[in-house]
């Protein structure tokens, strides 16, 4: 169902890889709600995924950009404003990567070059993006910037590895930059802490199947899907959440506030 929530609004969606991506579902929903978008991803991710299909479906231009490279971000923002015919109303940062996870390096035995790269891609890129937007005065007043995160920023999930540190840094950047962006431009900045979701990136975490089932059994409403997350992101892009900023918003079916569930207890009762 469409409500025209984003009629006349324009923005950039980072990180759509394939149909399983939260960014992909968000792009589809934004356009259904009357918004216009530019899609962007790193050149290597674009080769791996099927973003061209999404661009055709959403009538969107694709601008390749390495989100860790400020020159790429400057070019992306300038071109997006030109394509969309004005300043931006929303931006979704849906980017994360850990080479240590990908290569099976344990948290206690990291390759620090890989750690540094993962931190740059997953968290520092968010600061670089917002700093570039801010310097260029590229956002309209009451615009909205959202990044996707995960609860491992607050609690230990052993196999999430150094991505947990990346997400903690990402959330801190959202709060800190959110303060200045709010004061200077009335732009709001939030993170959505999503349920474990079977995206291409999510499935790369060791033991993911057991983990997603556990989270589903722990959450009173069950896990939030990628499509659910897209819907929630839309509310943050819309004018209905103008005074919500600097928040880490749990979108996880209640998992974050559940100590234990009947279903999980049943597995341990003799």
Q: Supply the residues annotated as catalytic.
A: 150, 160
Is 22 assigned to a binding site? yes
In terms of phi and psi (left: phi > 0; alpha: psi -120 to 50; beta: otherwise), the region of 4 is: left
- Per the CB < 8 A criterion, the answer to whether 200 and 20 are in contact is yes
- Per the CB < 8 A criterion, the answer to whether 245 and 182 are in contact is yes
Is 192 assigned to a binding site? no
CA pair distance 118, 168, nearest whole angstrom: 13
Q: Which residues of 104-137 are buried (b: 16+ CB within 10 A; e: fewer)?
A: ebebeebeeebbebbbbbbbbbbbbbbebbbeee
Cα 202 to Cα 89, 116, 151, 257, distances in angstroms: 28, 20, 13, 22
Q: What is the CA radius of gyration of the chain?
A: 18
CA pair distance 149, 93, nearest whole angstrom: 10
Is 173 assigned to a binding site? no
Is 13 assigned to a binding site? no
CA pair distance 248, 103, nearest whole angstrom: 29
CA pair distance 49, 174, nearest whole angstrom: 28
Is 259 assigned to a binding site? no
Token readout for 138 is: 């590229």
Cα 156 to Cα 127, 129, 153, 162, 168, distances in angstroms: 24, 28, 8, 11, 11
Would you list which residues are annotated within the binding site? 15, 21-22, 95, 167
Would you list which residues are annotated within the binding site for NAD(+)? 15, 21-22, 95, 167
């Amino acid at each position: 169902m469409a409500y025209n929530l984003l009629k006349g609004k324009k923005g950039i969606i980072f990180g759509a890889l394939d149909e399983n991506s939260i960014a992909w579902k968000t792009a589809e929903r934004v356009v259904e709600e009357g918004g216009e978008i530019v899609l962007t991803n790193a050149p290597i991710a674009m080769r791996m995924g099927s973003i061209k299909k999404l661009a055709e479906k959403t009538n969107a231009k694709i601008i390749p950009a390495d989100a860790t490279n400020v020159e790429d971000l400057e070019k992306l923002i300038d071109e997006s404003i030109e394509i969309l015919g004005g300043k931006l109303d929303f931006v979704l940062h849906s980017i994360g990567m850990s080479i240590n996870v990908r290569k099976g390096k344990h948290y206690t035995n990291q390759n620090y070059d890989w750690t540094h790269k993962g931190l740059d891609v997953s968290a520092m890129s968010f600061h670089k993006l917002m700093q570039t937007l801010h310097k260029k005065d590229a956002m309209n007043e009451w615009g909205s910037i959202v990044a996707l995160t995960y609860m491992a920023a607050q609690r230990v999930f052993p196999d999430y590895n150094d991505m947990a540190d990346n997400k903690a840094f990402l959330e801190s950047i959202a709060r800190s930059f959110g303060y200045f962006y709010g004061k200077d431009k009335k732009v709001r900045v939030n993170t959505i802490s999503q349920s474990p979701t079977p995206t291409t990136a999510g499935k790369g975490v060791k033991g993911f199947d057991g983990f997603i089932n556990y989270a589903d059994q722990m959450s009173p409403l069950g896990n939030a899907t990628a499509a659910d997350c897209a819907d929630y992101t839309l509310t943050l892009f819309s004018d209905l959440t103008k005074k919500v900023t600097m928040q880490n918003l749990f979108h996880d079916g209640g998992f974050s506030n559940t100590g234990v569930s009947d279903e999980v207890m049943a597995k341990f009762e003799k």
